[in-house]
Structure 1
Amino acid sequence: MTGTRGLGARWRRRRPLRTRLALAASAAVALVAVGVCAAAFTIIDYQMTRQLKLNLTQTATQTIRERHDWGPTPSDTLCRYPASPCIQIVPADPAKDPRERYVLPVSDATRQVADGRRAAFYTKLTVAGQPVQMLTTRLGSKDEALQVAQRSDTVDRGVEQAAWALSVVGGVGVLLAAALGYWVSRTGLAPVARLTATAERIAATRNAGHRIELPAGPAAREDELTRLATSFNTMLGELEQSVTAQRRLVADASHELRTPLTALRTNAELLARADRLTDAQRDRASAALGRQLRAVTTLVNDLIELARDEEPQPLVEQVRPAALLEHAVGAAREHWPEISFTTAIAPSAAGLTIPGVPPRLSRLLSNLLDNAAKFSPPGGPVETELTYTSGELDLTIRDHGPGIAEDDLPHVFDRFYRAKTARALPGSGLGLAMARQIARAHHAELTAERAPGGGAVFRVRVPVAAA
């Protein structure tokens, strides 16, 4: 039994899915066709034999009703005519047999029917070289048996012809089943074949831009395999976007790192010849080297933070956003003394807590406050407000700077993206991208918009109930 299962498993592994499906469908349809033909043959054989027996019964009944000169007689004919029945009367006592030889065979069962010890019965036999169906029944109340026989060769030929016809029909049905099975497997698995070919092309070319061709028409999209192909195309689109974003991140990071690394190498080489420099030159080179090291360190740390998709669960705790906002605004005042920061916290939001990682949420707030301060004019205000309405915390940070251009608005959260007005300002272009990633990791939504009257508004919405 184990060997049989192992052989079946090896056969399934070696045969493609299309072949297995075609064979299964063909076998199912062929089994149905053969079963229908076998059932039809059985019914035809039964009905034709039943009709012959019914004719014998009717002949026997008519003979009993019409004949009155009873007595032992041999068969009226030798059953040489297909349409003429043979009739023979046999007594229960062999001593009363006629002198003529019986044409139809007489047995002990015949004598038992004659004296009433046995019920009537049918027999298939051969008389004068011809196949015969015979009925043996008791003749009235006398101790005699009536034997009525009729040739069955016409019935046998009809059954044989039906068998040949049904065999041909069954064979055609099996061939049609094989063709239908192949068509079903080819048509039904076409999306799977296209999916496999696309996956193989992607594996060979490493190009996620390939797609599976989908059948046209809205009705085709109701098919399970078509929905699978659609889902695979969606996955390929996400993969392509991910690969493109990864390549762009690597290219942008390489570009951003090239300038500070070049400056670092230049200043390091300059300090290597410190004996040729004056004290002022050496101090300037050392300060520049320190600034560039801090910039590179910040950039690398930001890249590491962006590479993390979600927050570590062991570090999640209940956090008060109001307290974090006050702390972040205090730190921003120290870092940007020329900017005026104002904070408004609604009483309904003052005591609320949400699950989160405090250092990451602080980084989110500091990035938004630094961005607002960077674009604000000296002495300009940066306004922060925290409110709670309808199960949602709403934090807004507004500056009064030049605002965000319409062309730049869809890209402000892209990595390394810098608007034309920001390219001369310090920074790597990762702050807002990191802020959005932290917000998404905390089930929050971060958006940017143009403020009425000038400036930009960044809004963080946190669904407290969901969190």
Structure 2
Amino acid sequence: MTGRRADRRLGARWRRRRPLRTRLAVAASAAVALVAVCVCVASFFVIRYKLYQQLDQNLAQTATLVAQQHEYDKDYGVLTGECRFLGAPACTQIVPADPADDPKKPYLLPVARATRQVAAGELAPYYTSFTLPDGKPGRMLTTHYGKGAAVQVAMRADIAERGVRQTAAILAVVGGAGVLLSAVGGYWVSRTGLAPVARLTATAERIAATRDARHRIELPPGPRGGRGEDEVTRLATAFNTMLGELEDSVTARRRLVADASHELRTPLTSLRTNAELLARADRLTAEQRDRASAALGRQLREVTGMVNDLIELARDEEPQPLLEEVRVAPLVEHVVNAAREHWPAIVFTYDAAPGAADRTLPGVPSRLSRLVTNLLDNAAKFSPPGASVEVSLTTMGLAVRDHGPGIAPEDLPHVFDRFYRAERARALPGSGLGLAMARQIARAHGAELTAEHAPGGGALFRVTWPA
């Protein structure tokens, strides 16, 4: 048992140390070689059986002929002489069941106890391979001969033995050639089959060395996704897709860092200026100190809000323990009432369609409130004083419309990008993260947020709930 465990450990260690190409070549070669050897061995036994079967049929025909020629006579002993001719039965003798009836003349063929049993009818006829007195191989049939006797017919088996030896030699050469070809074929199969895997490995190592996700694996020409593609091609296609996603992720991260550093540079500079100004408060008047302190507090709130927004954007999914069935209508109504207090100069109208009050959505209430709040704040920010913001809720989704300047066609594809601010919004407060965060929250809850230019002017944002 200990030896088996040691052999298994050695085999596992060999598999770990050898490359995949070598292991595949060895496995393929061993499989083909095993099949070749098994075919050769099976062919050898089949040919040997056929050669001896033909010889045995000749012996059976001769025994039948002898029995017909010497029907039921008691002429025990040798009928024909020595087996001198190749392929011709020249040795026959009749043996009684009782040894007392044996003739005085000695038998030429071996007589055994089984021969007496066949003569007595106690044993079935049988074939025997033996060596003739001249050293030549022979084949003998012992069968019934009348009552109380057996006939033995023998003939030289040189042809069968020579055929068996020649067959063994030929099949040994064929088997050796098959093993050699299997080794060559196994190496070719491993080299050809693992070529895409080798390219994939080289691409992965190049990306790891250069940190450049723009590299791709070369794929064979033809349409992708067909039924004729093999597993390695599908793996390479999936790897290229993963590289594309990785490149997009790296690009987005770099752009986020660049945008965040750009957006934070101005408020941080203002914070430092006001902090240095307040450090010389003894030289300032009370009005100047109050103004600098208020500016410092406002800028701190802006930076804090921007950092919190960045943290929220860095989270792709909602925490599962906080998910619950949220009734949408009361949540939207509460957010609209809070917006009326925060934006007293804007008129918010809220309309809920029949059946919307029963609509529930699995999610995090605070995050869904943030989604609606960001949409309302965006609408109020771009609306002139006294304008209205229309909020309508249906069983299918939520719509928020303002009557501001609307969204320019060139800005529409970018309104949900992080830190993107249209030309007309540069002077307005905000960091450009509100709509990006709103879309992320919507998608995290299985919803979709879209923007469009409202008929008659203004912007229209739609949130479509999941079915």
Aligned to 1:130: 136
Distance 1:108 1:370 in 2: 114
Pair 1:205–1:221, CA change in 2 (3 A): farther
Pair 1:343–1:108, CA change in 2 (3 A): closer
Contact 1:90–1:110, Cα closer than 8 Å, also in 2: no
Aligned to 2:277: 270
Aligned to 1:458: 461
Residues 1:80 and 2:84 are matched in the alignment: yes
Distance 1:96 1:356 in 2: 109
1:50 Cα deviation (Å)?
A: 1.1
Give the stretch that moved more between structures: 66-75 or 216-225: 66-75
1:108 Cα deviation (Å)?
A: 4.7
Distance 2:322 2:122 in 1: 100
1:115 Cα deviation (Å)?
A: 5.2
Contact 1:339–1:380, Cα closer than 8 Å, also in 2: yes
1:459 Cα deviation (Å)?
A: 0.5
Distance 2:100 2:283 in 1: 155
In the superposition, the TM-score normalised over structure 2's length comes to: 0.90
Aligned to 1:139: 145
Q: 1:194 aligns with which of 171, 195, 199?
A: 199
Aligned to 1:151: 156
1:156 Cα deviation (Å)?
A: 0.5
Contact 2:48–2:164, Cα closer than 8 Å, also in 1: yes
Give the stretch that moved more between structures: 270-279 or 91-100: 91-100
Deviation string for 1:117-156 (max 9, x for gaps)? 5543322222212111122334334x55432211101110
Pair 1:294–1:112, CA change in 2 (3 A): closer
Aligned to 2:349: 342
Contact 1:73–1:90, Cα closer than 8 Å, also in 2: yes
Pair 1:431–1:62, CA change in 2 (3 A): same
Pair 1:64–1:378, CA change in 2 (3 A): same
SS of equivalent residue, structure 2 residue 394:
strand
Pair 1:356–1:73, CA change in 2 (3 A): closer
Distance 2:165 2:315 in 1: 80
SS of equivalent residue, structure 1 residue 342:
strand
**1:9-408 matched pairs, under 5 angstroms:** 9-67=12-70, 71-72=75-76, 74=78, 76-92=80-96, 102-114=107-119, 116=121, 118-127=123-132, 128-141=134-147, 143-218=148-223, 222-388=229-395, 392=396, 394-408=397-411
Contact 2:350–2:390, Cα closer than 8 Å, also in 1: yes
SS of equivalent residue, structure 2 residue 430:
coil
Letter of the 2:307 counterpart = V
Structure 2 unmatched runs, 5+:
none
Pair 1:421–1:139, CA change in 2 (3 A): same
1:58 Cα deviation (Å)?
A: 0.5
Contact 2:91–2:155, Cα closer than 8 Å, also in 1: no
Distance 1:397 1:263 in 2: 34
Letter of the 1:86 counterpart = A
1:299 Cα deviation (Å)?
A: 1.0
Residues 1:440 and 2:447 are matched in the alignment: no
Contact 2:140–2:153, Cα closer than 8 Å, also in 1: yes
Distance 1:333 1:116 in 2: 119
Distance 2:403 2:213 in 1: 43
Distance 2:138 2:75 in 1: 24
Distance 1:135 1:312 in 2: 89
Letter of the 1:58 counterpart = Q
In the superposition, the TM-score normalised over structure 1's length comes to: 0.90
1:194 Cα deviation (Å)?
A: 2.7
Letter of the 2:361 counterpart = I
SS of equivalent residue, structure 1 residue 247:
helix
Distance 2:184 2:150 in 1: 59
Distance 1:62 1:319 in 2: 104
Deviation string for 1:327-381 (max 9, x for gaps)? 3223323333332322222232134343333332222122111111222233322
Q: Let me know the Cα RMSD of the aligned residues.
A: 2.5
1:206 Cα deviation (Å)?
A: 2.1
Contact 1:74–1:98, Cα closer than 8 Å, also in 2: no
Aligned to 2:434: 431
Structure 1 unmatched runs, 5+:
none
Contact 1:80–1:130, Cα closer than 8 Å, also in 2: no
Contact 1:75–1:103, Cα closer than 8 Å, also in 2: no
Pair 1:367–1:151, CA change in 2 (3 A): same
Give the stretch that moved more between structures: 233-242 or 102-111: 102-111
Query: Identity across aligned pairs (percent)?
Result: 70
SS of equivalent residue, structure 2 residue 349:
strand
SS of equivalent residue, structure 1 residue 181:
helix
1:5 Cα deviation (Å)?
A: 2.3
SS of equivalent residue, structure 1 residue 458:
strand
Aligned length, in residue pairs: 459
1:73 Cα deviation (Å)?
A: 5.1
SS of equivalent residue, structure 1 residue 376:
coil
